Amino acid sequence: MKKLLVFSILGVVAMLLIVACGNPVPTPAGQPTAPGGSTAGLPADAAAVATERGLTPDDIYAALRTFTPSGQLDPYIMIASGGQSGQLLAIGVPSMRLLKTIAVFTPEPWQGFGFGGSGNTILEGGKVNDKDILWGDTHHPALSETAGEYDGQFVFINDKANARVAVIDLRDFATKQIIKNPLGIVDHGGSFVTPNTEYVIEGPQYAQPIGWEYGDVVQDYKTKFRGYLTMWKFDRATGRIDPAQSFSVELPPYFQDLCDAGKKVSEGWLFCNSFNTEMATGGVEDGNPPFESGTAKNDTDYLHIMNWKKAEELFKAGKTETFNGMKYITLDTAAKEGVLYFTPEPKSPHGADVTPGGEYVVVGGKLDPHVTIYSFDKMQQAIAALNEGSATKDEFGVPVLTLDSTMEAQVELGLGPLHTVYDDKGYAYTSLFLDSAVARWTLGGPYQGLHPEEPWTLVQKLPVQYNIGHIAAAEGDTASPDGNYVVALNKWSIDRFANIGPLLPQNFQLVDTSKTGDQMKVLYDMPIGNAEPHYAQIIKADKLKAWEVYPLGTNTETMLPDPNAITSPDQAKIVRNGKNVEIWMTVVRSHFTPEHVRIKKGDHVTWHFSNIEQTRDATHGFALPGYNINLSLEPGKTETIEFDADKDGTFAYYCTEFCSALHLEMLGYMMVEP
Ligand code: K7E
Ligand code: CUA
């Protein structure tokens, strides 16, 4: 522990230095070596380019590893969070080409999400206190899994800012559901899934009274403020979270941070790190320690060890309380019934990452140079020993297992270890925020023998640019990671890109991990110019079976046939019923039918659009000026909008996708009579 403390202090000093300078210390970038000699073996024209551009052999290798000729497809797709953009990003790996921004919590006009169609209904599911919330802070995407492997069907994402979770269907890469957690107003430790996606899990972060009701953070902290972890039941058949089958577990007001589900040997359990067991309540303006130091006083916080199968039993047995329709297991019940255990974790921890076989949980201490590796087997032995006799408990009655009884190893990596991912060679990769590096180190136990080195040792520290947060590995959260690439999700880019003003992009750096030993290399820099993504997952592209077009007449919210679909312009019509006007319109290259819509001010308009194309990429748009309406009508899609014609005038509606040579002619007039 003493050693730990010394390094903790070093860590704090380093962090303070960074805060004081307002700048991380850039690691020297690889200087191009003098051209010439290094181009031996290249065709003459390639050698000339390399010489002219001053490319090193490493640069040439990186180019060859990442360049993807036109028409060739990436073997991996990375689904990255979009941070405070509220969206997700789909990125090809290794080309690092951005393929799509997936609209999730934020209206997005290209996809017509939130501008009149079904996206509006989906966004409404995310209301908070009846208020529209039209952005999110997405942190941790979770691909659906079957038997611990990504199955390519769904991806889930949390919104830290409003404690919401969204479901994205990977048949069309579109959001289908947004659900608000009734217990918490802020989340963080989500989303992640159980190995068969029985549950999508949303963990909390900043403690608050249940249902974010009024409370005083100083006076009521220990009595009213709590954390809640929610097990959202996922129904694969409907592709929706079922709130009625979902439940939560009440947690102490420690700041639970990031979680991971056990798998294989540890299936049925989950693990969350935490960082405010001090229960600091801030108030720097009143002379109290600010949160940043108040939460970092203790040498250790608590790794939360949770038996979710046991919690599920208690939920099914009705041993729950209810708040705002959400059933939850009280902290007292969780502590007494063997749902929740703690074990110490050093110091200001971040992340809890389960190894591919589920044997170990790795926790990085932000202010400690080590990662701590816990053994699930040892946890179970310690729990069994507890049941026989005296147990140390925290002040909420939760049993605390000693660090000695649960720890397998500690590996010293450097400053600011945060998150850890795995490969197929028995290596773990940990992001070092303060060092701006990716640390490759060896796992022991069943992973010994997959690599040539000693177990639990640092193999290489690769500088990245700069201040890496999360790290993602190819198939990295599965029971069988791939190991070709990891991506460093860097918070700062500083000097990597052209100066485009004080707000800089983040830098995703592709790292080659295909060779053993100290052979990791940075291959590619990808600027993320729209927000701060936190986590990403990388799936093999051939696992994704996205539709090329929608079957004719598909309602894309339900993914079922739409009762208002029509299949030919002959069926297009306008029907008036009192003040209600209903329009059935077809959309095809290069005309809308009808092209004239005559209505009266004060009418209520219901307008159905059917794109009757089945040609791939034959997407049309529908822009209605002055009414904040814009749709994306992909082939086969049927979409409905409703609005009150409260402004009279003449409105030219038109197609926003350049769909054909006569695209500009694809228009019509809505005439609203005063
Ligand atoms: Cu997973 Cu940024 Cu939410 Cu670490 S967090 S970096
Ligand atoms: Cu349809 Cu342009």
CA of 430 to the centre of ligand 1 (A): 13
Is residue 49 situated within a structural domain? no
Tell which atom from ligand 1 comes closest to the C-alpha of 489.
Answer: 6
For ligand 2, say whether the CB of 666 is within 6 Å of any of its atoms.
yes
Same domain, 512 and 458: yes
Asked which of 484, 512, 543 is the last residue of a domain, the reply is 543
Task: Give the model confidence (pLDDT) of 429-457 as tens digits.
Answer: 999 999 999 999 999 999 999 999 999 99
Which residue, by CA, sits nearest to atom 1 of ligand 2? 620
Ligand nearest to the CA of 187: 1
CATH number for the domain harbouring residue 383 = 2.130.10.10
Ligand nearest to the CA of 272: 1
Same domain, 567 and 597: yes
On the question of pLDDT at 316 being above 80, the answer is yes
Is residue 596 situated within a structural domain? yes
Name the nearest CA neighbour of 567 among 593, 543, 601.
Answer: 593
DSSP 8-state assignment for residue 379: H
For ligand 2, say whether the CB of 327 is within 6 Å of any of its atoms.
no
Q: Which two tokens stand for residue 252?
A: 């102490």
Same domain, 572 and 635: yes
Sign of CA dihedral 652, 658, 663, 664: positive
pTM value surpassing 0.95? no
> Which residues are 372's β-sheet partners?
363, 410
The answer to whether 286 touches 294, Cβ cutoff 8 Å, is: no
Same domain, 483 and 595: no
Ligand 1 pocket test, pick from 259, 353, 419 with the greatest ligand atom count within 8 Å of Cβ, gives 419
Task: Give the model confidence (pLDDT) of 150-194 as tens digits.
Answer: 999 999 999 999 999 999 999 999 999 999 999 999 999 989 999
Q: Is 383 helix (H, G, I), strand (E, B) or coil?
A: helix
Break the chain down into helix, strand, coil percent, rounded to 5. 15, 40, 45
Is residue 367 situated within a structural domain? yes
Is residue 315 situated within a structural domain? yes
Tell which atom from ligand 2 comes closest to the C-alpha of 656.
Answer: 2
Sign of CA dihedral 538, 514, 534, 228: positive
Query: Where does ligand 1 bind, in terms of residues with CB under 6 Å?
Result: 139-140, 188, 258, 350, 418-419, 469-470, 534-535
Which residue, by CA, sits nearest to atom 6 of ligand 1? 469
Burial class (CB in 10 A: 0-12, 13-18, 19+), 540: middle
Same domain, 315 and 250: yes
Same domain, 523 and 562: no
Where does the pLDDT of residue 41 fall: very low under 50, low under 70, confident under 90, or very high at 90 and above? confident
Is residue 258 situated within a structural domain? yes
CA of 172 to the centre of ligand 1 (A): 27
Is residue 145 situated within a structural domain? yes
CATH number for the domain harbouring residue 599 = 2.60.40.420
Ligand 1 pocket test, pick from 259, 506, 535, 537 with the greatest ligand atom count within 8 Å of Cβ, gives 535
Same domain, 525 and 655: no
How many whole angstroms separate alpha carbon 374 and alpha carbon 372? Answer: 6
Same domain, 623 and 511: no
Ligand nearest to the CA of 488: 1
Residue span of the structural domain in which 599 resides: 554-673
Task: Give the model confidence (pLDDT) of 645-657 as tens digits.
Answer: 999 999 999 999 9
Same domain, 368 and 404: yes
Burial class (CB in 10 A: 0-12, 13-18, 19+), 543: middle
Number of domains in the chain: 2
Same domain, 604 and 522: no
How many whole angstroms separate alpha carbon 324 and alpha carbon 174? Answer: 29
Same domain, 502 and 607: no
On the question of pLDDT at 23 being above 90, the answer is no
Identify whether 374 is preceded by a cis peptide bond (ω within 30 of 0): no
Asked which of 488, 512, 543 is the last residue of a domain, the reply is 543
Per-residue confidence (pLDDT) for residue 39, from 0 to 100? 78
Q: Is 132 helix (H, G, I), strand (E, B) or coil?
A: coil
> Which residues are 319's β-sheet partners?
none
How many whole angstroms separate alpha carbon 670 and alpha carbon 649? Answer: 8
Asked which of 543, 574, 599 is the last residue of a domain, the reply is 543
Same domain, 491 and 623: no
How many whole angstroms separate alpha carbon 26 and alpha carbon 278? Answer: 33
For ligand 2, say whether the CB of 394 is within 6 Å of any of its atoms.
no
Task: Dump the DSSP string for 604-627.
Answer: EEEEEEEE---STT--EEEEETTT
Task: Give the model confidence (pLDDT) of 533-589 as tens digits.
Answer: 999 999 999 999 999 999 999 999 999 999 999 999 999 999 999 999 999 999 999
Is residue 115 situated within a structural domain? no
Is residue 171 situated within a structural domain? yes
Listed range (4-13, 505-514, 635-644) with the worst mean pLDDT:
4-13
How many whole angstroms separate alpha carbon 103 and alpha carbon 173? Answer: 9
State how far the alpha carbon of 374 is from the alpha carbons of 8, 41, 67, 357, 381, in Å. 20, 49, 40, 13, 12
CA of 588 to the centre of ligand 2 (A): 8
